[in-house]
Structure 1
């Protein structure tokens, strides 16, 4: 018999968050779904499911994150799976992005994840079980021009999750970072993607082409969000989940291409790579 779990999902009103929420409810589990506004609309959209508890949450507000966690615990008694999904894209050359735009992207995509994680982990530590799932990106595994700042936020999520996985393992808590490729969601819509107002013509051949691609590729991405949601159900049910889970053939190909180039760089610079140690340490290896 299936043991009912309670999920806490940020950014549940649309995109991946909504698809995962729908899949979890269909599986029979509970969901604490967070939205930034109009919680009644999401509850109505999902048929006022008794296993659904919608709460307001701006992930950049740490106090609100703690209140949302407490509300979920009060409603369902526990939180077993945390999905840090809330975030948005910034399409810009690194030089083009203003300090305000960069801070805002990191504030939501990184600091917001940390706020929610700190709010939920005390409950998981208390019962010595749980699964923390952070959503990264193909851009968090390998950089693209036009996505340098956004990719940096997702590189941060990769590193944070790796650290969490090691710290939480002795406590019976799993941590996984999921890196989706290009999926047919609203990510490239204006609702999820910010484009910098500052445009430098010298980047027309790189970032300029990416801006055009983002427009033409919208709603034509290869990934199926419903299948991604199903993968999350499988992931949360695993007794031995991975720390890294790339989703989509495009992500897998991109990562393999990067590691191949990395190995080539090491081979070409091998003497330099190993030649920087103190001489008195060489005999100890």
Structure 2
């Protein structure tokens, strides 16, 4: 198989949403898209997106042994892995107080440790190649927290934390990182992929309840088009100087700017108190 002039992509979680859209956009560019799914019946559907350019493997990102096997198989088959997209994950909605330890651990396990496992096992390949690019699918919720998404926010903040560190640790090795921070897009994130905490506390109805109602009302009519977001990511992958952070969509950009402005105002307001904490030597 001739892959010398094609980029080889590994995209986790491609059965729907951004992952599925990426498989289409990547293959339309002429690159090879290797996606992972969790159900056997999704293998044929994924490989039929663009036969000869789209391939699929079964993978649960929470199974580190399986992650190693899949990445090794892709490297053996194609000779390289140019781009890794950590897309597999889900949202958990509920107040922090409402969230059980098990619900929180499951959220962190998939969104953080699953992505970390894939990243760690792809890094040696990219080091050996002298190049590579990670697209870490975070959320605007990885930069700005929302009532009712606290543990989900925590998982994406953690993803962003180690991803930004890798960008600094591995830049000299030719490895790039782009943290993708989408706002509302018409995917299954707020639909079949979303999980809700079992516990509900009435005191949070006016905060978490309103956020939950907004998600449900907006589901299916979000302004964001996953295919156009996927095409934007492919454009970044083929650019010489891609960004570290990439908020996607108008709401994401507006909320990011609002947080930046608030931080700047608070830093300026409390600067004198803050800097007056050093030893007077």
Name the TM tier (shorter chain).
Answer: over 0.9
Deviation digits for residues 76-117 of structure 1, max 9, x if unmatched?
111100000000000010110100000000000000001101
How many matched pairs?
A: 277
TM-score by length of 2: 0.95
Report the Cα distance in structure 1 between the residues aligned to 2:43 and 2:217, rounded to whole angstroms.
Answer: 34
Structure 2 contact 47–55 (Cα < 8 Å) conserved: no
Deviation digits for residues 134-175 of structure 1, max 9, x if unmatched?
011011111110011101111111111110001111101111
Residue 170 of structure 2: SS of its match in structure 1? helix
Aligned twin of 1:236: 237
Residue 145 of structure 2: SS of its match in structure 1? coil
Aligned twin of 2:277: 276
Report the Cα distance in structure 2 between the residues aligned to 1:117 and 1:226, rounded to whole angstroms.
Answer: 24
Aligned twin of 1:182: 184
Structure 1 contact 183–223 (Cα < 8 Å) conserved: yes
Report the Cα distance in structure 2 between the residues aligned to 1:83 and 1:6, rounded to whole angstroms.
Answer: 11
Residue 39 of structure 2: SS of its match in structure 1? coil
Higher mean alpha-carbon deviation, 199-208 vs 50-59, is at 50-59
Match of 2:91 among 89, 92, 107: 89
Structure 1 contact 53–72 (Cα < 8 Å) conserved: no
Structure 1 contact 9–34 (Cα < 8 Å) conserved: yes
The RMSD of aligned alpha carbons is: 1.3
Report the Cα distance in structure 2 between the residues aligned to 1:33 and 1:13, rounded to whole angstroms.
Answer: 9
Structure 1 spans left out of the alignment, 5+ residues: 281-285
Structure 2 spans left out of the alignment, 5+ residues: none
Higher mean alpha-carbon deviation, 19-28 vs 262-271, is at 262-271
Match of 1:61 among 49, 63, 76: 63
Runs of 4+, deviation exceeding 2 Å: 39-45
Report the Cα distance in structure 2 between the residues aligned to 1:44 and 1:232, rounded to whole angstroms.
Answer: 21
> Compared with structure 1, are the counterparts of its residues 226 and 43 closer, same or farther at alpha carbon in structure 2 (3 Å cutoff)?
closer
- The answer to whether 1:22 aligns with 2:28 is no
Aligned twin of 1:151: 153
Match of 1:40 among 37, 43, 66: 43
Report the Cα distance in structure 2 between the residues aligned to 1:267 and 1:43, rounded to whole angstroms.
Answer: 51
Matches within 5 A, 1:89-168: 89-168=91-170
Aligned twin of 1:265: 266
TM-score by length of 1: 0.94
Shift of 1:45: 4.3
Residue 269 of structure 1: SS of its match in structure 2? helix
Shift of 1:44: 5.3
Higher mean alpha-carbon deviation, 30-39 vs 140-149, is at 30-39
